[in-house]
């Protein structure tokens, strides 16, 4: 209290560095974020300290004001930080971002400063920062009248880091204003399908611009579908109505953008985006009180053809059906009956609706479908399903499963049911049938593999791991995101701060050697492939030939490494599972739990609580804990300290949560590497003391999922469409196994 009175006294002289730091420390202990932001501003204004420290204070204040929705004050703080550290990427990017979001038109002077800032730090931007920085640079170049320079910047970065949502929006908006709006549609679709637009565009507004481009290209079926997404925003209702009034009375479904021939020379770069799939998009930024509760995503892909309706030329590309897929095509999509020879009006003859689509090879992982009920009966069943009724979900699947035009809805509901009852044979059979109906052969085979673990029939074997394509960021998000949907960033921060001073498991006395790359050896072939897919090709694999039982674990020899002892098993699934689990354990969020001693792990998490937990946990009698606590506090910048405090409050920085996160990551990575759900479930049963023969019983999978949350998590992962497209690539050659089974 005395310290607060000193700080609250009228100041006749500039505040000293010591008083400013004391003010920040006191406000961190409270819950008043505006006061903390003001204290940080005072600290940043003190000139008697390094420019880097002043900039850190201004940046933390800027982020606090952003969280408090005070963009004007946040912008001022960010500009101060950018002035102090002109070569710091974070400061320059934040200043440019907040300057762009400031209400009013961007002036040429502001645009010129933005270009100077971003060009100065372009080489130091990470992949996560590059798409935002390039988008802002392109916008500033446009204000300066730089012609196509912005579009060229967007394409150049897209070639380097891939098609991110923000880059795709920037490209699409510029192409849509040109002479060939048709070429913009596939980029609009990537932006709508992928999600995060960093608060710079609303998905509903992007959908409206896409609808306008489709209208100019006379693709009226696409206009209808984009308008469905745009109309979720009540503010756009008039514009959507105006656009629909301009459409012809009968607008047939249009050809997806990726099926269209290039409309002009020089469009090759613009047409490299993946095939236009049945894109789903969330209206993320419509105000909650105006957004319908259950409207999550809208399909923008080609709908199933209506009876008697002819598809436009090129609507079904021959390249979509692989050479090995013809037999599956006959089982998944039976041809419609031909009209009688003597019929005068063959187009009016009764025809059955084709059920399902031909199996296709999708270059991008499938979107998770979402469901919007259309009738009172569907709404009632969905409400029961949301309340946890599996029976209601199966009844809803039965309603949707007979309608060829509701394939996406069928897939969405069956996925919800599997999420509720992952071991249910009926639920899995419905999901497999929905995947086959949508023509998604990879997902159908992945679910058939899960069904094989739920019964006595033979399950299709996963395709070889070396046939899978490298998509590191997507794979890591799928496997290692926590159950709350967040990446374990807190554990990574701890690793970066402490791994140089921790004591690691001692492997002295063991003769180990680094395994070389020899494609003739099954071990090195499996390791090289798995490490490539996880983005860990530089991680060393060490081998000890000392006598002893087979074992794979993570060790620290200057860097996280994987040590294999004994002779590897002959069964490839067992070896791949162990290698995948170990590779996951070498990642920064999990390396400490896997490689440190038990005593060191206890000490570390006591230190975390002492440094960032509530005041009552800051006292400790352990010298090593106090040393680690001081190291953590001193090594982290102020903004990271604040985040660590928040994570402690949320319970994310306990030993129990860290161990649980590491085990979950290892199991999921082992499943992906082996592709064998049965092997993964046997490991879970052994770890949790569940009898080994349980899975072989008629209801074994249901019982195992009921007894083990880890087993249920693995079954959900194995049935996920994104997992299927990352792990079951190239599976059409074996599609005859399991795909001909009719769903319930």
Q: What is the DSSP string of 76-129?
A: HHHHHHHHH-TT-HHHHHHHHHHHHHSSSPPPHHHHHHHHHHHHHHGGG--HHH
- At residue 542, φ and ψ (nearest 5 deg) are -105, 150
Which of 228, 206, 204, 207 lies closest to 286, judged by CA? 204
Taking alpha carbons only, the member of 285, 168, 276 closest to residue 222 is 276
Query: What are the backbone dihedrals phi and psi of residue 509, each rounded to the nearest 5 degrees, phi first?
Result: 95, -15
∠363-364-365 over CA atoms, to 5°? 125
* SS3 per residue for 447-497: HHHHHHHCCCCCCCCCCCHHHCCCCHHHHHHHHHCCCCCCCCHHHHHHHHH
Task: Give the integer Cα–Cα distance in Å for 597 and 584.
Answer: 18
Q: In whole angstroms, give the CA distance from residue 155 to residue 720.
A: 32
Backbone Cα Rg of the chain: 29
DSSP helix/strand/coil, 542: strand
Inter-residue contact 254 to 224 (CB < 8 Å): no
What stretches of 162-234 adopt beta strand conformation (E)? none
What mean pLDDT is predicted for residues 388-404?
Answer: 88
Tokens of 518: 């020899």
Which range among 268-272, 331-335, 552-556, 715-719 has the greatest average pLDDT? Answer: 715-719
Q: Which pLDDT does position 351 carry in this prediction?
A: 31
Percent of the chain's residues with pLDDT above 90: 18
Closest CA to 454 of 661, 669, 664, 712: 712
Give the residue-averaged pLDDT of 122-147. 87
Question: Would you state the pLDDT for residue 457?
Answer: 67
Cα–Cα nearest to 218, from 185, 242, 265, 178: 185
- Lowest-confidence range among 34-38, 121-125, 295-299, 595-599? 295-299
User: Of 195, 185, 145, 139, nearest to 165 (Cα)?
Assistant: 195
pLDDT (tens digit, 9 = 90+) per residue, 197-226? 878 888 888 989 999 999 888 888 788 888
pLDDT digit string (tens) for 436-495?
A: 888 888 899 999 999 988 766 677 889 999 888 888 888 998 998 877 666 677 777 777
Instruction: Give the pairing of strands 560-565 and 541-544.
Output: parallel
What is the separation of C-alpha 424 from the centre of its chain, rounded to a whole number of angstroms?
A: 27
Q: How confident is the model at residue 738 (pLDDT cuts 50, 70, 90)?
A: very low
Give the residue extent of every domain in the chain.
163-260+269-302, 321-333+357-462+719-744, 472-674
Instruction: Specify the pTM.
Output: 0.53
In degrees to the nearest 10, what's the CA dihedral of 263, 266, 268, 271?
-50
């Amino acid at each position: 209290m005395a310290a607060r009175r000193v700080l609250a006294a009228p100041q006749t002289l500039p505040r000293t560095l010591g008083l400013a730091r004391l003010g920040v420390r006191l406000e961190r202990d409270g819950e008043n974020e505006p006061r903390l932001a003001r204290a940080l501003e005072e600290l940043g204004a003190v000139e008697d300290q390094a420019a880097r420290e002043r900039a850190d204070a201004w940046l933390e204040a800027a982020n606090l004001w952003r969280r408090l929705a005070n963009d004007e004050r946040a912008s001022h703080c960010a500009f101060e930080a950018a002035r102090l550290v002109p070569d710091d990427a974070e400061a320059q990017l934040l200043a440019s971002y907040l300057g762009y979001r400031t209400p009013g038109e961007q002036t040429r002077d502001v645009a010129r400063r933005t270009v100077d800032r971003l060009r100065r730090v372009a080489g130091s931007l990470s992949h996560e920062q590059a798409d935002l920085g390039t988008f802002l640079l392109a916008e500033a170049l446009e204000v300066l009248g730089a012609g196509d320079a912005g579009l060229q910047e967007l394409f150049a970065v897209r070639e380097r880091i891939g098609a991110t949502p923000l880059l795709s929006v920037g490209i699409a908006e510029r192409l849509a204003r040109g002479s060939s709006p048709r070429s913009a549609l596939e980029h609009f679709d990537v932006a709508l399908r992928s999600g995060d637009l960093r608060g710079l565009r609303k998905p509903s507004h992007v959908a409206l611009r896409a609808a306008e481009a489709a209208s100019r290209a006379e693709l009226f079926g696409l206009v209808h579908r984009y308008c469905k997404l745009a109309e979720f925003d009540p503010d756009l209702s008039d514009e959507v109505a105006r656009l629909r009034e301009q459409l012809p009375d009968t607008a047939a479904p249009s050809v997806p953008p990726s099926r269209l021939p290039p409309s002009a020379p020089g469009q090759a770069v613009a047409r490299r985006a993946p095939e236009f799939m049945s894109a789903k998009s969330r209206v993320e930024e419509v105000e909650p009180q105006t957004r319908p509760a259950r409207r999550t995503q809208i399909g923008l892909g080609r709908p199933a053809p209506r009876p008697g309706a002819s598809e436009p030329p090129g609507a079904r590309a021959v390249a979509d059906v692989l050479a090995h897929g013809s037999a599956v095509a006959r089982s998944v999509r039976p041809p419609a009956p031909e009209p009688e020879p003597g019929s005068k009006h063959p187009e009016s003859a009764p025809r059955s609706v084709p059920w399902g689509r031909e199996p296709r090879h999708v270059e991008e992982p499938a979107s998770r479908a979402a469901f919007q009920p259309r009738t009172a009966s569907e709404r009632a069943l969905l409400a029961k399903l949301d309340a946890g009724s599996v029976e209601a979900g199966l009844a809803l699947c039965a309603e949707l499963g007979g309608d060829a035009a509701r394939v996406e809805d069928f897939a969405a509901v069956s996925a919800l049911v599997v999420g509720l009852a992952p071991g249910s044979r009926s639920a899995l059979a419905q999901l497999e049938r929905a995947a086959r109906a949508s023509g998604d052969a990879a997902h159908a085979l992945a679910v058939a593999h899960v069904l094989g673990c739920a019964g006595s029939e033979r399950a299709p074997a996963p395709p070889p791991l070396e046939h899978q394509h490298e998509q590191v960021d997507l794979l890591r998000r799928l496997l290692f995101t926590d159950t709350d949907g967040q990446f374990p960033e807190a554990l990574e921060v701890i690793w970066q701060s402490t791994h140089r001073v921790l004591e690691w498991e001692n492997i002295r006395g063991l003769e180990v050697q680094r395994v070389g790359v020899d494609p003739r050896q099954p071990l090195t072939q499996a390791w090289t492939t798995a490490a490539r897919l996880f983005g860990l090709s530089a991680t060393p694999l060490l081998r000890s030939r000392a006598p002893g039982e087979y074992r794979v674990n993570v060790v620290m020899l200057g860097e996280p490494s994987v040590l294999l002892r004994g002779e590897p098993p002959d069964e490839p699934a067992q070896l791949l599972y162990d290698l995948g689990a170990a590779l996951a354990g070498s990642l920064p969020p999990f390396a400490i739990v896997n490689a440190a001693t038990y005593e060191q792990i206890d000490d570390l998490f006591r230190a975390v609580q002492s440094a960032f937990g509530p005041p009552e946990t800051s006292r400790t009698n352990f010298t090593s804990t106090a040393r680690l606590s001081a190291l953590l506090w001193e090594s982290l910048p102020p903004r990271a300290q604040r985040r660590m405090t928040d994570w402690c409050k949320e319970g994310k920085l306990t030993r129990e949560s860290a161990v649980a996160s590491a085990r979950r990551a290892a199991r999921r990575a082992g499943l992906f590497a082996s592709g064998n759900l049965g092997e993964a479930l046997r490991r879970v049963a052994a770890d949790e003391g569940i009898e080994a023969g349980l899975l072989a019983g008629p209801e074994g999978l249901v019982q195992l999922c009921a007894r083990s949350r880890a087993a249920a998590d693995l079954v959900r992962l194995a049935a996920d469409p994104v997992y299927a497209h990352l792990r079951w690539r190239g599976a059409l050659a074996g599609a005859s196994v399991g795909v001909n089974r009719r769903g319930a």
